[in-house]
Structure 1
Amino acid sequence: MSTPIYLSAREAAAELGVQPATLYAYVSRGLIASVAGPGKKRRYDAADVRRLKGRKASEDQTGSRPLTGDPVLETELTLIAENGPVYRGRLATDLAATSTLETVATLLWDSGDDPFAKNVPEGPPELPAGLAPLDRLMMALAAWPLQDRAAYTLAPRLLQLKGAALLRYSIAALLDQEPVATPIHTQIANAYGVSASAKNLIRAALVLCADHELNTSAFAARCAASTRAPLHAALISGLGAFTGPRHGAASDRATAWLAEITPDSDIEMVLADRLGRGESLPGFGHLIYQERDPRADCLLDILLRTEAGHPFVERLPVLIKAADNLFGLPPNVDFALAAIQKTYGLPKDSGKTIFCAGRMTGWIAHALEQYAAHEKIRPRAAYVGERPE
């Protein structure tokens, strides 16, 4: 067994690139072991220091901390398994074969009766022209109390009905249309004027995007619900987190570089140029799925089967193989949404609009589950700043 190596405080802090106060905070959090040294000075385990340094480097590359530590709350909604999300015991990729978003909503919300039956609200008020879909939705949700005098209710008997009404109202805001009882995937397909095969892919995408356990937007919605904020406010919280380029808008980043791919493009060269410039490949790799994102595989499989003769779709296997050879990463759901948008020539923002329409179902489910809990979500921070003498 090798003898442990210990560093002085100055050496450990220098290796980590932090101030001594931060080093002491790491020790108090149990990230670095320390032992008594000469005099009154402490010595710090070099293996722990280098392990933490490696983790910090990984965080700098990915922009996220790895998902480690104890779960922060309990849920009966979604389990993330190797073969994808599982909604209350039902594999999402199985549901994507035939289910609608409304069916999945009823499952996630644990509804006894159909909350969508005859539940069509009035449309949003007139909003400023020129708003992007997510901005239009944000304003529409803020205006929800204008049409619903019970907007602030937390009565369990009413919340699922409010959820169904808010979902239809939100789809209308995203599409800049009036709410209707038509299935949501049909509404989106009609608004985009696409084929039956595209409509089927939109339906499957909505189902696969409905929930993904405690992602950032779902956690934001739960935090709001834990304070007993009304349902429309919890949705605004979720939407605010969703709009960021590291979450819901990630498909936009994939769409941007996919625009470079034409029928004549040397795909490997396009990707090699990105690699040579030190650029990432949006839409590939996932923080949770260490191997493949089953949601992406499901959608891309449908796309390859139904649009085999499409010029872009014909080259998808080449693109995916080149990404694996050059970046060592498989496609994720953001790439699948961008590929659907490119294949069918869908409008700008349609990938994240479809993602948002599906994910709102999950936000409502998380809010409903949180309303049934007694505690308020109030995590503690690990202070790493200066301390008084």
Structure 2
Amino acid sequence: MADQEAAQGRGGQRLSTRETAERLGVKPETVYAYVSRGQLTSRREPGSRGSTFDAKEVDALARRAGRREPSAPGSELAIRTGITLIDRNHCYFRGVDTSELAAHYSYEEVAEWLWTGELRPAVRFTAPRDALSAAHRAVQALPAHIGPMDRLRVGVIAAAAADPLRFDLSEDTVVDIARSLIPTLVDALPSHSRKPPSADSLAARLWSRLTSEPADTDALRVLDAALVLLIDHDLAASTLAVRVAASARAHPYAIVSAGFGALDGVLHGAASGLAHRMLVEVLDRGSAAAVVADHLRAGRRVPGLGHPLYPGEDPRARTLFRLLEDVPQARTALQAAREVITTTARHTELHANVDLALAVLSVSTCMPAEAGETIFAIARTAGWIAHALEEYAEHPLRMRPSGQYHGPRPPQPLP
């Protein structure tokens, strides 16, 4: 360890052979093959037992080779990322616990930090006039019954059409687009308040698009925390779609559109709507047991419970439940959610996930069932941009899996 630290001090970060192999997605023997071909430079430190490699040189080789990471157990593809780690019932952004981030910083502050590595206290995202005007006109043209997710999908396309610089994939331009796109999507949604958009936080402006209820400090704190916690969650389906689009060098608006498309499933972004409707039913019937029994009798899973990445309670749910305890109007819905958890726990050990916590927030503040999905989509846009920035730095078109053909063997006659 001392030798490695000394090596780092003399010339930047040095990696062991094993670390280099993991970063390249190859066997250790292949690392030395790269050395023999002049593609990597090794160095043996005095007193050390093995060679070390310059981390920047290794990363450059990984990008040139466009290598896939070795497959993780139970998955088809693993992709190297420095954004999110999920480990032991905790979620971390760049090594920092997301619950701690949500407790100390706003959504805009955390998003800015994820994109640039810099924390800008009290940063506010504002929508440019042209983009907001285009998105607002497009959204207003939709039928009145259209839900917020359809409005977001149309809004991002309109904003893209208004931006002639959307094809510039330089890091500074992509971050500038992100800073303007997210508030454009929020401000283009119909408002339940007569108060025009101002310098309020993004969470405050989103609140007025989701409910006509006044936003007290504690309730708004829950919404802002939810936005932070939902920014990213490793390689979820929508994030993988974003990485594929970014690998093909789609512009930021297009990659967000790809994320929205994958988010539109009941097993992903729309899951909180099911939990919302279940809680409403529990409150109407006055019995969590009866509602849970109906779900199980119909062969349906109980919404808002269980997550494949967390053996225990979803840490995002744990954080939001704790904050919801300080919101007086949330007490009834919170109690209903806990009854669902305890009722189900008699038969199977399933813990609350973030969808149930979002449902408590939406039910208790008179938000529609689609509110959780809207919060999810706005929040995750920041994470998608972070993943796009990572993918733009990789070898293009590397997301090209090989198909396993199982059709008729040729030659076949014409149909």
- 1:223 corresponds to 2:244: yes
Q: Which moved more, 1:202-211 or 1:294-303?
A: 294-303
Indicate whether 1:354 and 2:375 are aligned. Answer: yes
The separation in 1 between residues aligned to 2:336 and 2:160, in whole angstroms, is 49
Partners of 2:191 and 2:208 within 8 A in 1: no
Distance in 2 (alpha carbons) for counterparts of 1:170 and 1:308: 28
Using the TM superposition, name which of 313-322 and 371-380 deviates more.
313-322
Aligned match of 1:126 in 125, 131, 137? 137
Specify the alignment match of 2:403 in structure 1.
381
2: CA distance, partners of 1:287 / 1:326: 18
Higher mean C-alpha displacement, 147-156 vs 237-246: 147-156
1:53 — aligned with what? none
Q: Which residue of 1 aligns with 2:153?
A: 138
The Cα shift of 1:318 comes to 2.5
Structure 1 contact 92–207 (Cα < 8 Å) conserved: yes
Q: CA RMSD in A?
A: 2.5
Contiguous gaps of at least 5 residues in structure 2: 1-71
Structure 2 residue aligned with 1:185: 203
Select which of 164, 187, 199 maps to 1:172: 187
Structure 2: distance between partners of 1:69 and 1:277: 30
TM-score by length of 1: 0.76
AA paired with 1:273? D
Report how far residue 328 of structure 1 moved: 2.9
Of 331, 344, 359 in structure 1, the residue corresponding to residue 352 of structure 2 is 331
Match of 2:57 in 1: none
Task: Count how many residue pairs are aligned between Structure 1 and Structure 2.
Answer: 324
Match of 1:196 in 2: 217
Alignment of 1:1-389 (within 5 A): 68-69=74-75, 71-112=77-118, 119-122=126-129, 123=132, 124-127=135-138, 128-129=141-142, 130=144, 131-175=146-190, 180-191=198-209, 192=211, 193=213, 194-262=215-283, 265-307=286-328, 310-376=331-397, 377-388=399-410
Shift of the 125–302 alpha-carbon distance from structure 1 to 2, 3 Å rule, reads closer
**2:182 aligned counterpart, secondary structure:** helix
| Structure-1 separation of matches of 2:264 and 2:345 | 28
Change (3 A) 1:174 1:372: farther
**Aligned-partner residue type, residue 280 of structure 1:** R
Aligned equivalent of 2:40: none
Deviation of 1:273 (Å): 2.9
Q: Helix, strand or coil for the counterpart of 1:135?
A: helix
TM-score (normalised: structure 2): 0.72
Deviations 1:279-338 (A, max 9, x none): 211111112212221111111122134438833333443322112123431111111111
Give the conservation status (yes or no) of the 8 Å contact 2:136–2:188. Answer: no
The residue number in structure 1 matching 2:19 is none
CA 1:174–1:217: 2 relative to 1, 3 Å: farther
- Tell me, what secondary structure is at the counterpart of 2:86? strand
Q: 1:186 is aligned with what amino acid?
A: A
Instruction: Compare 305-314 and 89-98 and name the one that shifted more.
Output: 305-314
Q: Alpha-carbon deviation of 1:381?
A: 2.9
Shifted more, 187-196 versus 225-234: the winner is: 187-196
* Residues 100-149 of structure 1: CA deviation (Å, up to 9, x unaligned): 11111112113448596675312124122423111111111111233222
* Residue type at the aligned position of 1:190: S
Query: CA 1:137 to 1:176, structure 2 compared with 1: closer, same or farther past 3 Å?
Result: farther
Residues 347, 266 of structure 1: alpha-carbon distance in 2 compared, 3 angstrom cutoff: closer
Paired with 2:318 and 2:306, the residues of 1 have a C-alpha distance of 12
- Distance in 2 between residues matched to 1:231 and 1:209, nearest whole Å: 19
Q: Pick closer, same or farther for the CA change 1:125–1:310 going to 2, 3 Å.
A: closer
> 2:218, 2:327 within 8 Å by CA — same for their partners in 1?
yes
Are 1:308 and 1:314, in contact at CA under 8 Å, matched by a contact in 2?
A: no
Q: Distance in 1 between matches of 2:394 and 2:183?
A: 26
How much identity, in percent, do the aligned residues show? 33
Mean Cα deviation higher: 240-249 or 110-119: 110-119
Q: 1:283 to 1:316 in 2, by over 3 A?
A: closer
Distance apart, 1:71 and its partner CA: 4.9
Code of the residue aligned with 2:295 in structure 1: it is R
